[in-house]
Homo-oligomer: A and B are copies of this chain.
Amino acid sequence: MKARVTVTLKNGVLDPQGKAIEGALGSLGFAGVGAVRQGKVFDIEIAENDRARAETALKAMCEQLLANTVIENYHIQVA
């Protein structure tokens, strides 16, 4: 089973990397670019045929390793 986990910064958390990209896009001549926020995406293959169990395992992975839940949100999509 394939899954995609998206980890994004929570609202209100400063994102200097996103700000830098915003500035770079402006320098390249792209007008009208508002806020840019950068996050991470993980494509994970998991040997589990039960959807619910896969989601439970992925949630635990996010809590323990993939996301810093103090400042980040995560979203799990099982394909």
Contact A47 B64 (CB under 8 A): no
Copies in the complex: 2
* A25 at the binding interface (Cβ < 8 Å): yes
Q: Mark A16-39, 1 if CB is under 8 A from B, else 0.
A: 001001001100101111111111
The tally of residues in A whose CB lies under 8 Å from a CB in B reads 32
Instruction: Give CA–CA (A46, B48) in the complex, Å.
Output: 39
Residues of B contacting A25 with CB < 8 Å?
A: 61, 65
* A57 at the binding interface (Cβ < 8 Å): yes
Interface residues, chain A, CB within 8 Å of chain B? Answer: 6, 8, 18, 21, 24-25, 28, 30-48, 57, 60-61, 64-66
- Sample (14) of A-B pairs whose CB atoms are under 8 Å apart: A6-B41, A8-B41, A8-B43, A25-B61, A28-B64, A28-B65, A30-B57, A32-B47, A33-B47, A35-B44, A35-B45, A37-B42, A39-B40, A41-B41
